[in-house]
Amino acid sequence: MVKWGIHSLLWTERFDTNPEPVARKAKAFGFDGIEIYVAPSQIDSFDKGRVKKALRETNLGCIGCTCLDKETDVTSADEAVRKRGINHLQKSAELFSELGGNFVSGVTYAAWGKLTGTGPTSEEWNHSAESLKTACQLIRDTGVTIGLEPANRFETYVLNTAADAVRLAKKVGEPNIGVHLDTFHMNIEEKSPYEAIVSTNELLRYVHLCENDRGVAGTGNINWDSIFKALSTIGYDGWITLESFTPEIKSVAASTAIWRQVAPSADAIAADGLKFLKSMREKYASH
């Protein structure tokens, strides 16, 4: 059964410092869980006890989100940097397993925001695959799957398309690796989002549904019929998370290039977006 998630960064820069109001709001809007972002610099100080309590009190599930940085870049030629990346992925999996989650995703395969002016070298590709394989083996007992989220060319040069992510997942070759697709990035990089989803098939473990401008879902140019038709075609029934950002969370706005108001408010993105997405899911549920 599909579960509906909302990204914590829509409302707060750091969820663990004040999780209660965000959790209550997510529950009131009708979400089943929260995707919680934890940066490498935050993980050792993350208040997991407070978060666990907030999730329990609102009966919400969670999905893990992280992005590697230059100090944890698993494509790096420096073995010490790659080891820190593996360690961060392991810590992330252990954290979200304790919180009741079974998935952690994001730019988990390279440093987010790193651009070299060219595509990945074979050395970088192999370093990423080998590091991810090691991480997957280390976290096997947690029950957590690591997701590979291809992002657009302005945020990474390593994975931009579903085909890239599928190729890397197959190279890693572990049962707890999967692909995470995001309609915002797909709108930029894929010739056919429908074909991208269908071709990913059983490797698709997680989905972000975002409007092309990260505003309210259903108000832009994403072809939502093709997205939900594709999800129906492969029988996808995992988490579907609404991910959008607003200028009010300044650090998030800076890193995701949200300079203008793309929606009336964060609450409108959540409430109106969820209503629209649920109606689309219902439309294709019996197809």
HEC sequence for 64-97: EECCECCCCCCCCCCHHHHHHHHHHHHHHHHHHH
pLDDT value at 212 more than 90: yes
> What's the CA gap between 284 and 205, in Å, rounded?
19
Q: Where are the domains of the chain?
A: 3-284
Q: Which residue has the higher pLDDT, 82 or 253?
A: 82
CB count, 10 Å around CB of 244? 27
Q: Which two tokens stand for residue 189?
A: 């990089």
Distances from the Cα of 94 to the Cα of 3, 64, 141, 170, 187, angstroms: 22, 10, 9, 23, 33
Q: At the fourth CATH level, which superfamily is domain 3-284?
A: Divalent-metal-dependent TIM barrel enzymes (3.20.20.150)
Q: pLDDT confidence of 255, banded at 50, 70, 90?
A: low
With a CB cutoff of 8 Å and minimum separation 6, the contacts of 56 are none
Catalogue the active-site residues: 149, 243
Enclosing H/E stretch for 179:
strand 177-182
Q: pLDDT confidence of 256, banded at 50, 70, 90?
A: low
pLDDT value at 178 more than 80: yes
The answer to whether the CB of 253 falls within 8 A of the CB of 17 is: no
pLDDT value at 247 more than 60: no
The per-residue pLDDT for 92 is 98
Residue 278 CA, chain-centre distance (Å), reads 19
Burial class (CB in 10 A: 0-12, 13-18, 19+), 95: buried
Q: pLDDT confidence of 141, banded at 50, 70, 90?
A: very high
Phi-psi sector, 218: left (phi>0), alpha (psi -120 to 50), beta: left
Average pLDDT over residues 108-131: 97
The answer to whether the CB of 137 falls within 8 A of the CB of 86 is: no
> What's the CA gap between 184 and 42, in Å, rounded?
26
What pairing do the DSSP bridges indicate for beta strands 145-148 and 3-7? unpaired
The per-residue pLDDT for 123 is 98
What pairing do the DSSP bridges indicate for beta strands 145-148 and 33-37? unpaired
H-assigned helices in 74-233: 79-98, 122-138, 162-172, 183-189, 193-200, 224-233
Nearest one of 104, 196, 96, 94 to 148, comparing CA atoms: 104
Average pLDDT over residues 89-117: 97
pLDDT value at 253 more than 80: no
